[in-house]
Amino acid sequence: MKISIITVAYNAEATIAHAAASVVGQERTGYELEYIIVDGASTDGTLAALEPYRYGIAQVISESDRGLYDAMNKGVAAATGDFIGILNADDAYAHDGVLAAVAERLRATGAQALYGDLDYVAEDGSGRVVRRWRSGEIGPRNFLQGWMPPHPTFFLAQSVYAEHGVYSLELQSAADYELMLRMLHKHRVSAAYLPDVLVKMRTGGVSNVSWGNRLRANREDRRAWRMNGLRPTPWTLVMKPLRKLGQWMG
């Protein structure tokens, strides 16, 4: 099995080395790794920060793009792995056995997708956990109840991208939600849950940095359902942000 990991970056000099180190430092047991960097023509030292890890990077694409999801689509197009995962430039894998565990679980289940758990850590780089996202098993009505898996833990078969499409460029911050909704809820792509923290994600995401951004994200979530010809329940998109309250506990 071959796993392609894509890291999208733009002016990520401060964090990308940590992300890259967590990828190239993964155990290489039971799978082949392909690591792809898609850089949006950064003007800082992003590419220089990657130099110590170039031995483990299969390809660097550095050119202007139309934003985050366009860059992700470039990575998906370049990937040659059986499965594709996307790790943000300011995130990191939680331990060096993540990808080996992902490969083992995918082989054992025969699933076309996989997701796991995620810890939010302090933006200051201390590693202090401030929120815990525990996904749980997917069910047929989970999305209707406001559920979604954490996108940085989401792995999807390349063949499924080829069949059902990539990230929509019509959305500014919810294209990851729309893609997972399309794959898991609309097309019922088989998915396996790996009950382990796979990713440490720094706080301060685009859709959550202000109430205004959160409201815009909610409007995009509604649009994601319409784009797929799906109808949420009256409480679906109210429950989606409310589910996050539990991430601050335990």
- CATH code, 240: 3.90.550.10
Q: In whole angstroms, what is the distance from residue 153 CA to residue 157 CA?
A: 14
Q: What is the pLDDT of residue 212?
A: 58
Q: What is the pLDDT of residue 2?
A: 98
Q: What is the pLDDT of residue 12?
A: 96
Would you write out the chain's pLDDT as a tens digit for each of its 250 residues?
Answer: 999 999 999 999 999 999 999 999 999 999 999 999 999 999 999 999 999 999 999 999 999 999 999 999 999 999 999 999 999 999 999 999 999 999 999 999 999 999 999 999 988 878 899 999 999 999 989 999 999 999 999 999 999 999 999 999 999 999 999 999 999 999 999 999 999 999 999 986 544 445 556 677 789 999 999 999 999 999 998 888 888 777 766 5
Q: What is the pLDDT of residue 215?
A: 73
Please state, in angstroms and as integers, the Cα–Cα distance from residue 246 to each residue in 52, 57, 167, 240, following that order: 39, 37, 28, 11
Please work out, in degrees rounded to the nearest 5, the angle formed at the alpha carbon of residue 228 by the alpha carbons of 225 and 233.
35
Cα-Cα-Cα-Cα dihedral of 115, 79, 172, 23, to 10°?
60
Number of domains in the chain: 1
Q: What is the pLDDT of residue 41?
A: 96
Q: What is the pLDDT of residue 75?
A: 98
User: For residue 149, which of 84, 195, 104, 103 has the smallest C-alpha distance?
Assistant: 195
Q: Considering the entire predicted model, what is its pTM? A: 0.93
Q: What is the pLDDT of residue 207?
A: 43
CA-based end-to-end distance of the chain: 36
The values of phi and psi at residue 44, to 5°, are -105, -150
Q: What is the pLDDT of residue 206?
A: 46
Q: What is the pLDDT of residue 214?
A: 64
Q: What is the pLDDT of residue 248?
A: 67
Give the structural domain span for 238. 2-248
**3-state class (DSSP) for residue 196:** strand
Q: What is the pLDDT of residue 250?
A: 52
Q: In whole angstroms, what is the distance from residue 178 CA to residue 224 CA?
A: 5
Q: What is the pLDDT of residue 204?
A: 67
Contacts of range 129-136, beta carbons closer than 8 Å, 24 or more positions apart? 129/200, 130/203, 130/248, 131/203, 131/244, 131/247, 131/248, 132/247, 132/250, 133/247, 135/193, 136/193
